[in-house]
Structures are given as structure tokens and as C-alpha cells.
Amino acid sequence: MNFFHTSIISVDQFSKTDIRKVFELADYYRKNLDDGKVLTDLKGKVLTALFYEPSSRTFASHIAAMQRLGGSIIPIQGVTFSSVAKGETLEDTVRAFASYSDVIALRHPQEGASRIAAEYSTVPIINAGDGTGEHPTQALLDLYTIQSKLGRIDSLSVAMVGDLKYGRTVHSLSKLLSLYKKITLYFVCPKTSPMPKPIISLLTKRGVQIKTVRSINEIISIVDVLYMTRIQKERMDEKLYNSIKNMFILNADLANKMKKNAIIMHPLPRIIEITKDVDENPRAVYFTDQMRNGMVIRMALLKLILNK
């Protein structure tokens, strides 16, 4: 991929070579930050973070990434105080912010919103989560974390636990993993929240071994990565949510049954699906590597998109 001035809409855009390029630059930025260096690679560039849905990490890490590269930001978190509240369309809003900035990170409740925005924007759009669709930058930071912690991506067994129907992070991550060799994916989900069929078809076509199970116990001792997700309360009715919210909970006793070098991941926010006593487990990387990596991966992407 030629990253320069390219919108990042889906993980489908990425080859393994592209991923390697992003990871190499992320390594470089991670080392520079660890060494306390002040960077100015994107001095004079402006990012709009345009978030129609709640966010902590994706919003703040895009902003931190731009600022740590010497750039500036227009932060729009929630659209109550923008002209969206007066009825302005996504297309017109994007046109406005494209006039003031060099790149727009967009989070929106509607699947496909980033693709539509990219049609109307004169600057690149970064999909920061589009409804139940995709979350490509999250998948890149997740994959980068797996590579950094386990030293490889090939030949891994990964369990994805929780709401696989509405969870956009697992949609994007499973597709990225499918680019690698000998991947086994265990889907641990309620019957009402399965991985969407088109994604399963794609994964199968690419040679991924897939097994769906109904209990964490069945896979806890054999996986290299346990990727927990929350049940997406905001995308289902209350009755359904209450019937499935307690189905898959990781506690310290369960976590201790994992392989010594396995890792526990979560895109966050965590609600009840990981108990607090797991946080100190050395396998847990969701508050450490995963979050820090979110910023360096976004630094790498911004640099590739904005500089030739």
C-alpha cells in the first residue's frame, strides 16, 4: 500500500508487508519515547478527532500520537456542541473539518460511515470504529502487541471471547490474523452473538482453523492469546444483555490455568468480564503494553499517511 494521503477504512487494505512497515516505524517511535526524545516529525500538521460515539483510548491515543509528533489537534468528542446537533449530515461535517485539518480520525455508530466520509473528505479518514463494522487501528495495535510479547504471529492459538457479533475489534483482528500461517481461532461466544458468517467464510478460505466453544474452561490451558471482549450492551435490548452478560468471566483462578507465556488481552473498556484480581497476573497486558502500543501504532500510521 502507498500510505501517503490514503484513508484507513478496513484491515482488508493491509498486506503483511504493509503491517511490517507500520510495526517497524512503531518500534522506532516506541524506542524514541522510551529514551525521552521529543519528536517533531508532524510539526505543522493538524488532526481532527471527530468522535460521534464514546471513547477513551482511541480518542486520546490519536490525540497523544499527533501531539507527540509535534502536530496539533481539533478534538470533537461527542457531537452535542458541533453543528451535528442542528442536523448537519456526516458528509457536510467531514467537508468542514477537512478544510481545517490534514487528517480526520472518525468514530461513528453506523457501519460503513468511514467509507462514506472518505468519499466527501479532501483529507484522509482513519476509521476509529464504525458501529459493528471494523476497528482497524485497534487490530494493528493488538497484532503489534502479540508480535512484541510472543515474538511471532504464525502458529498461534487465539481465543476470542464475548460478543463476537457486535464487537468490531474481533472482526478486524481475526481478519489480520488470517494473513499468517497456522492460525487457530477459538470463538467463545453466546449463541446469540456469533462471529458474522462472511468473516468466518473469509477466515476459512484463508486456511484458519476455527472452533466455536461455549466455555472458557475448554480452551484456557491451550491458547497463546486470550482476547476478552465486553458484551456490547448499547447494541442489543436489555433482556438479551441480561441473559448473556455473565456468561464468560475470567477470574484469577481461571487465568492461572493458562500457559506460562500466554497473554491476556482486552481492547477495553472492561465491564465485568475480567475480574480485578486478574490485573496483576503477569499474563495480563491490557493496561500495559496494549494501551501504550495504541499510541505508537497511531504515531506510525499518522506519519505514513501525512509524510511522503
Shortest Cβ distance from residue 59 to ligand CP (Å)?
Answer: 6
CB 161 within 8 A of CB 305: no
Instruction: Between 184 and 294, name the residue whose CB sits nearer to ligand CP.
Output: 294
- Non-local (6+) Cβ contacts of 106 within 8 A are 50, 51, 52, 94, 113, 114, 117, 125, 126, 127, 128, 130
Nearer to ligand CP, 14 or 59 (CB): 59
3 state SS of 186: strand
The strand ranges marked E within the chain are 46-51, 72-77, 103-108, 125-130, 157-161, 184-188, 209-213, 225-228, 263-265
- Start-to-end CA distance of the chain, whole Å, equals 13
Nearer to ligand CP, 21 or 57 (CB): 57
- The CB-of-167 to ligand CP minimum distance in angstroms stands at 10
The single-letter DSSP state of residue 232 is -
For ligand CP, which is the closer residue by CB, 93 or 290? 290
Contact 200, 170 (CB under 8 A): no
Residue 188 Cβ, how far from ligand CP at the closest point, in Å?
Answer: 19
Q: Shortest gap between Cβ of 106 and ligand CP (angstroms)?
A: 13
CB of 38 to ligand CP, least distance (A): 26
- Nearest residue to 181 (alpha-carbon basis) of 148, 213, 157: 157
Q: What is the dihedral of CA 62, 302, 232, 109, to 10 degrees?
A: 100
Site residues, ligand CP (CB under 6 A): 55-59, 129, 138, 267-269
Output 164 or 220, the one with its CB closest to ligand CP.
164
Shortest separation between residue 162's beta carbon and ligand CP, angstroms: 13
In terms of phi and psi (left: phi > 0; alpha: psi -120 to 50; beta: otherwise), the region of 139 is alpha
Q: Beta 46-51 vs 225-228: how paired, if at all?
A: unpaired
* Residue 34 CB, nearest approach to ligand CP (Å): 23
Q: Which is nearer to ligand CP, 162 or 220 (CB)?
A: 162
Give whichever of 157 and 290 is closer to ligand CP, judged by the CB atom: 290
